[in-house]
Amino acid sequence: MTHNDTPVTRRRLLQGFGALTAGTMFSGIRVAFASAPVDTRFIFVILRGAMDGLNVIPPYGDSNYTEARNGLALKPADYAPLDTFYGAHNNLANFAAMFRAKEAIALQAAATPYRLRSHFDGQNVLESGGLAPHELPTGWLNRALALYGARDAKLGLAVGETIPLSLQGKVEVATWAPDVFGMPSDTMLILLDKMYNKDRLFEQTLKEAVNVHTIADQALGGPDAMKKMGNGGNLQNKVAMQKTAEAVGKILSDPQGPRIATMEINGWDTHFQQGTDKGPLANNLAALDAGFGALKESLGAHWQNTVIFAATEFGRTVRQNGTAGTDHGTASCAFLLGGAVDGGRVVAAWPGLGGNNLYQNRDLAPTTDLRQVAKAVLVEHLHLERAGVEKHVFPASADLRPLEGLIRA
């Protein structure tokens, strides 16, 4: 598409969003209106790094919660109760408000079929929709798009420089990303610092860089000042996430735009100094929540037809490890949000946190298969035939019932 036939709405959006470039923004996201098979919207948010679900949707009603987490459990002041058993971390204020408005669901003790603990393999299963890593070469969302048949329009949008596996496959999809880099996340800086441990030049220079930026932050009036000035690329940054999500909402609102999008947020791999009310996990949640809020706002009237599904590859150990963090685990929580969600409930078959209840004596046991959620969205929200979904999208899942009642009738 050339610049000249860019729809006015998107051109305006571009002008109001200086960080974006025309090249990435407009490449191929135009859809012929008449050919769009559904008027619903779906966003799959991939939470990479294994989110610690127990401190996101804390099962405070489980009498073993505080003891089992040995020092890492959220205190009552750190969460808002969602019901008499589960809460939501304070940094999920938008999510909690949507929950109360009955347009958000939290799922607990959910997992993919993958039972080992490699991030890459876990994400491969989450995104390919297979039973084992590398069993399927394409993504479940792309295979779902294929069920709509051949179209001259791009229904899928990958938010990012590249297409995640979940959207990879035969059907062509669009990509879009804000292209401004900010500082690497704190998590990344810590990892870099450790990696540079034996190389004096790199180690010293990185420290210097961090110092310089800290000073600049202070000079500009607080750590957010720099970020406000264009920390665009890193969705772990709250402002960047907010701006990006705003733009995504607008792109999906365009009648000629795509219908289905993926977003990715890194940094859930909290092996050290995870924190409770504050810390890397809390910061990531704040960014994610800002994204939820911005999507709702910018989708406007389309929010009523929207489902957002956010999931991670696996959870983390119930117990704290030796560096005030958690290691790779099994089940975690997931989110469903949107006007089309029949919300206000936590959906879980709670396995318990007592000694005998843990998976391999360390992890939250999985009782819900994330594919049950995805299948429900595909069938009830995106109006795809269940038989086709079970044949092409999630093969070998025929005996896995889509969860009922997630989507408004």
Q: Which residues bind another protein (CB under 8 A)?
A: 23, 48-50, 119-120, 123, 160-165, 168, 177, 181, 183-184, 187-188, 191-192, 194-199, 201-202, 205-206, 208-209, 211-212, 233, 264, 266-269, 271
Using a 10 angstrom Cβ sphere, with 0-12 exposed, 13-18 middle and 19 or more buried, the burial of residue 17 is middle
The Cα–Cα gap between 45 and 264 comes to 6
Between 107 and 265, whose beta carbon lies closer to another protein? 265
Rounded Cα gap, residues 261 and 176, in angstroms? 10
Minimum Å distance from CB 46 to another protein?
A: 9
Output 240 or 384, the one with its CB closest to another protein: 240
Query: Which is closer to another protein, CB of 32 or CB of 212?
Result: 212
- Dig out the tokens for 105 from the structure: 């669901």
Q: How far is the CB of 202 from another protein (least distance, A)?
A: 5
> Least separation, in Å, of the C-beta of 120 and another protein?
6
Residue 265 beta carbon to another protein: minimum distance, rounded to whole angstroms: 10
> Could you give the CA distance from residue 211 to residue 214 in angstroms, rounded to a whole number?
5
Nearer to another protein, 282 or 376 (CB): 282
**Least separation in angstroms between CB 381 and another protein:** 25
Distance, in Å, from the CA atom of 289 to the CA atom of 295, rounded to the nearest integer, reads: 10
Q: How far is the CB of 165 from another protein (least distance, A)?
A: 5
**Would you say 51 or 373 has its CB closer to another protein?**
51
- 214-245: b or e for each residue (b if 16 or more CB lie within 10 Å)? eeebeeeeeeeebbeebbbbbbbbbbbbbbbb
Q: Per the structure block, which two tokens stand in for 13? A: 């959006």
Pairing of the two strands 332-337 and 104-111: antiparallel
Closest distance of CB 180 from another protein, Å: 10
Q: Which is nearer to another protein, 85 or 202 (CB)?
A: 202
* Residue 379 dihedral angles phi and psi, to the nearest 5°: -80, -50
**Cβ(17)–Cβ(243) under 8 Å?**
yes
The rounded distance, in Å, linking the Cα atoms of 149 and 152 is 10
